Chain A
């Protein structure tokens, strides 16, 4: 089924000045790639806390909760032109109210983060469809805090320390499985 000609025969580029694709990597190949790696990182840097968030997410993987997905309607638009600049802006963004929506199958959880006294964060949440829920707040190196929602699916954590966190949501009546949000930065 493979009708592709020999790779180095189908390219007009193979002339005297061209490099042999089948040639071994030479020192300049390595140096070009190393330089390229630096540019790739400079143009679109890896978010500084992504590794730590991933590590914490791994420790929560044992909770057997299905991962919810965050819905970011605006982020890609904001990040279109100049991801590096956007990333820098994110890092220094002031602490203001921020709403994030998470979905999993039919369950939607919306949380609103707002500043609380002492540089801490208040989390107001709302889940739909409305049901009694137990909501656990997981943070690295801290005990799990659990609050119960009211019957409309509303819940709140009054004062939470900033940093990485994930919410795990379970129905009080035991129906359905547990779901968890990705690890987010409060």
Chain B
């Protein structure tokens, strides 16, 4: 299990991405050092949370899906063939578990609505994918424009950019692949979704983002 060690980035090297740190954490976990995995859980849980939430999973159920994704990682630690792809593995695992949770929830709701004493106050509804943020969240004009511009993109672009924003830029490619929008082998390019967002943003006015 340690054969792929050389293929991993230098631990002390500069410019490690989340994907690199995930690979190192898995390799170290296999060798009995659990510290790096704990750090990875702290760092990558937001990415998993938003991946799961993007599939329409409710708040409480999403917490369990994220938790079970981490449990699945340690249970499969020895069988994940390619440590370098562990970030993608996590995202795909979380996403599948999220779909399963959504499906189960729908079945449960259906079963309940078939009961005679079901109340009309309990409509079957899927969670809205993009809750409109409270005004207090989008206090700045710039943020409102960014959020509204994002909403103009196709749904998959929105999902991709929200997730990419939470990782390191070179991880863009892994995340794209994990959500079914492969970008090819060149890393760190802008990609169509971000290019569109930038174009829409420019049409809204001249804002400084840096």
**Is A176 an interface residue when CB atoms closer than 8 A count as contact?**
no
Whether B147 lies near A23 (C-beta < 8 A) is: no
**Is A75 an interface residue when CB atoms closer than 8 A count as contact?**
yes
Whether A55 lies near B58 (C-beta < 8 A) is: no
Residues of B within 8 A of A44 (CB): 49-50, 53, 131
Residues of A within 8 A of B189 (CB): 21-25
Q: B41's contact among A13, A34, A51, A79, by CB below 8 Å, is which?
A: A51
Q: Kindly identify, within residues 5 to 57 of chain B, every residue whose CB is under 8 Å from any CB belonging to chain A.
A: 37-38, 41-42, 45-46, 49-50, 53, 56-57
**Is A87 an interface residue when CB atoms closer than 8 A count as contact?**
yes
Q: A57's contact among B71, B108, B161, B195, by CB below 8 Å, is which?
A: B71
Residues of B within 8 A of A17 (CB): 199, 202-203
Residues of A within 8 A of B197 (CB): 32
Residues of A within 8 A of B165 (CB): 33-34, 36-37, 40
Whether B67 lies near A183 (C-beta < 8 A) is: yes
Whether B71 lies near A31 (C-beta < 8 A) is: no
Nearest-neighbor residue (CB-CB) of B111 within chain A: A73
Chain B positions near chain A (C-beta within 8 angstroms): 37-38, 41-42, 45-46, 49-50, 53, 56-61, 63-64, 66-68, 70-71, 74-75, 101, 104-105, 108-109, 112, 122, 125-128, 131-134, 137-138, 142-143, 146-147, 150, 161-162, 164-166, 169, 186, 188-192, 194-199, 201-203, 209-210
Name 26 A/B residue pairs within 8 A (Cβ), A-sorted: A19-B198, A22-B189, A22-B190, A25-B188, A37-B165, A39-B138, A39-B146, A39-B147, A41-B46, A47-B59, A50-B45, A53-B63, A53-B67, A57-B67, A61-B75, A71-B108, A72-B105, A75-B58, A75-B59, A75-B60, A78-B58, A78-B59, A80-B131, A83-B131, A84-B134, A182-B68
